[in-house]
Amino acid sequence: MATTDKTESTARAAWLRKELNRHGYAYHVLDAPTIPDAEYDKLFRELQALEEAHPELVRDDSPTQRVGGAPLGQFEQVTHTVPMLSLGNGFEDEDIVAFDRRVREGLEDKGLPPGEEVEYSTELKFDGLAINLRYEDGLLVQAATRGDGATGENVTANIRTVYDIPLRLHTEHPPKVVDIRGEVLMFKADFAKMNARQRDAGLKEFANPRNAAAGSLRQLDSRVTAQRALRFFAYGIGSLEGAAMPATHSDLLDWYGTLGVNVCKERAIVRGADGLLSFFRQIGQKRPHLPYEIDGVVYKVNRLEQQATLGFVSRAPRFALAHKFPAEEAMTLLLGIEVQVGRTGAITPVARLAPVFVGGVTVTNATLHNEDEVRRKDIRIGDTVIVRRAGDVIPEVLGCVAEMRPADAAEFVMPTVCPICGSAIVRTEDEAVARCSGGWVKCSAQRKGSLLHFVSRRAMDVEGLGDQLVEQLVDKNVVTTAADLYSKLDLTSLATLDRMAEKSAQNVLKALEKSKTTTLARFIYALGIRHVGESTAKELARHFGNLDAVLHASEAQLLEVADIGPVVAQSLKAYFADPLNVELVAQLRAAGIVWPEQESENRPKPLLGKTFVLTGTLPNLTRDQAAQMIEEQGGKVSGSVSKKTSYVVAGEEAGSKLAKAEELGVPVLDEHGLHRLLADVRTDVTH
């Protein structure tokens, strides 16, 4: 009896391990869950209970062994069997052309026909930490950091907590030994979540995902690492025994894929310098949308035989090159802190910096967000600070380098009066932001901000009316309110402005005229009522159908609108209770601004009550176009997937939202499916 019991338990434990590892791989690596979370947890608990009752059943590749164990006193040193090298860097196109030439010349000596282009495997340069994973007979036996390249630290206990990394390779015939090399990193979203948790717990925040990944991996207590969502991408190899080395680098990565090891999909096989540069530009475009940070791309000669021919120079391979993006973070001196006044009077502290080249441009100003952020990050004038400028995002100060603080560094003091209009600056208890109390009547900064918002692309969309023009119009008192744009501007008044040729003046007038035909939602949004963003404006327009109804709605009626809570309702009431605002709206309508009235009440809205989430890139439609098509039929577009989501529309590179939809059983449509659904509902209505 006891033996049968034992045999059954052993078999059951083995089955559970296999199942759980399979589902874990589908979830973490393939991003395509195969069973609901609750079901996974049930199986996991069963295995845990079995192993507790029969400790001899615990195996190194059991998913229960990923949760972290007793803290270490220190990390052991590990000598790498094959040293872990670094890469040479290139920045400019010429560097890449020169690299390709060197490679070609190196190979021509060894039989590459002159003029023949070299084949490269191109991939991403992940911004994390290099790691060596040693598998023996398929089992993960050791993980080590790169260290100085010759010796690193043994971080096996921590690496076991990384779900991306298989504890056992997915193959019946594993090599005797294989050193799989790659990068451990933290996804941007996980980084944000982790920092939020650190903040709530009053702990130190990390400056960027790279530091967070490094800090997490170098924890002596692996239970802490287990709490941090780390990921892994394989990109190289050290030792290999008991299996044939693939012929090319791309084959190597494909092989890793079959072993259950995560490899990045953003890679290509290209030829010559042109191929390399075109990959670089393509990834540059994608970079802001990637869920993790990269600091460049890596080019590797694809044929391993050719790699061996080229060999190494000092500590870097001749066959590979990192093509780096301009750094997005840099250090510089904080010379002073000034404040800026936004359209709602919000006061933003702005850092004046010693000029620094970051993200491809020279930056002298960066936002510090608000007073609390300055305190929390303990940033003082005179500090050396870390500035970040990523893509087109406004540069920001991430933090300071405490060790470099001079003795006379000064704390920031929030001014008590508005630097523009002299009105008092007030900050209510429940708000993070201090505001100028002058309103747009007194404060020209607020007037400028409101006007710029009014004419912006997603509001009234007046082309050609930019910062500099608005600045002049306000400073010269030509325009005070949005209504003045329509009543006070003509060729004569515009001609008084600097750098305004007659042609541009005509264009501005034309654009203003064109903007008069708009939608109710755009008009409401353009008013710049606090807490009324684009989606709230759309809800209001849809719910009430006409402006008068919005204007006269009681707080209780406003609260009936989807997404509107007490804060927004009160803000709307307060806005329309102000006679100046009522007058502004009347003037704008008198100026001839029109939109299709009553639209929402008359037209059938077959998708009313249905919520859609858009994720990934659709082949033909932009996100805005897809959203508009859904909204026209009464549907709502939301940012996050929940049980209430009716459909997820997924395009290429859809990530966690798609996984969530599948987990919750929410129907998923592709672009074609969306078109079909819309066509169906339209027909249902007409028939």
Residues at the contact surface with ligand IVH, assessed by CB under 6 A: 85-87, 123-126, 130, 146, 183, 235-236, 298, 317, 320, 322
- In the complex, minimum distance from the CB of residue 316 to ligand IVH, in angstroms, rounded to a whole number: 7
Q: Which is nearer to ligand IVH, 87 or 469 (CB)?
A: 87
CA 173 to chain centre: 39
Contacts from 531-537 at CB under 8 Å and sequence distance 24+? 531/567, 531/568, 531/571, 532/568, 532/571, 532/572, 534/458, 535/563, 535/637, 536/563, 536/564, 536/568
Q: Which is nearer to ligand IVH, 138 or 296 (CB)?
A: 296
Q: With the CA atoms of 287, 289, 290 and 293 taken in that order, what torsion angle do they form, in degrees rounded to the nearest 10?
A: 60
Closest CA to 547 of 567, 512, 575, 514: 575
Distance CA 609, CA 572 (A): 24
Give the max Cα distance, the chain: 103
- In the complex, minimum distance from the CB of residue 249 to ligand IVH, in angstroms, rounded to a whole number: 10
CB atoms within 10 A of CB 131: 25
Distance CA 621, CA 617 (A): 8
- Give the residue at shortest CB distance from ligand IVH: 130
DSSP letter for 427, please: -
Q: Which is nearer to ligand IVH, 312 or 357 (CB)?
A: 312
CA distances for 243 relative to 175, 262, 379, 393, 533, angstroms: 5, 20, 55, 48, 59
Q: Which is nearer to ligand IVH, 187 or 544 (CB)?
A: 187
Closest CA to 35 of 664, 553, 687: 664
**Rg (the chain; Cα; Å):** 30
Residue positions counted in the chain:
687
Per residue, what are the HEC states of 18-87?
A: HHHHHHHHHHHCCCCCCCCHHHHHHHHHHHHHHHHHCHHHCCCCCHHHHCCCCCCCCCCEEECCCCCCCC
Distance CA 280, CA 288 (A): 14
- In the complex, minimum distance from the CB of residue 153 to ligand IVH, in angstroms, rounded to a whole number: 14
- Reading the block at residue 568, the tokens are 């927004």
CA 229 to chain centre: 16
Q: Which is nearer to ligand IVH, 15 or 312 (CB)?
A: 312
Whether 125 is catalytic = yes
Cβ burial, residue 654 (10 Å; 0-12/13-18/19+): buried
- In the complex, minimum distance from the CB of residue 233 to ligand IVH, in angstroms, rounded to a whole number: 7
1 CB-near residues (< 8 Å, 6+ apart): none
Q: Which is nearer to ligand IVH, 250 or 446 (CB)?
A: 250
Q: Which is nearer to ligand IVH, 310 or 489 (CB)?
A: 310
CB atoms within 10 A of CB 420: 19
Q: Which is nearer to ligand IVH, 100 or 123 (CB)?
A: 123
140 CB-near residues (< 8 Å, 6+ apart): 60, 61, 133, 134, 156, 159, 160, 165, 166, 167, 168
- In the complex, minimum distance from the CB of residue 323 to ligand IVH, in angstroms, rounded to a whole number: 11
Contact 304, 159 (CB under 8 A): no
Q: Which is nearer to ligand IVH, 100 or 539 (CB)?
A: 100
What single letter denotes the amino acid at residue 233? F
> Could you say which of 6, 18, 110, 125 is catalytic?
125
Catalytically annotated residues: 125
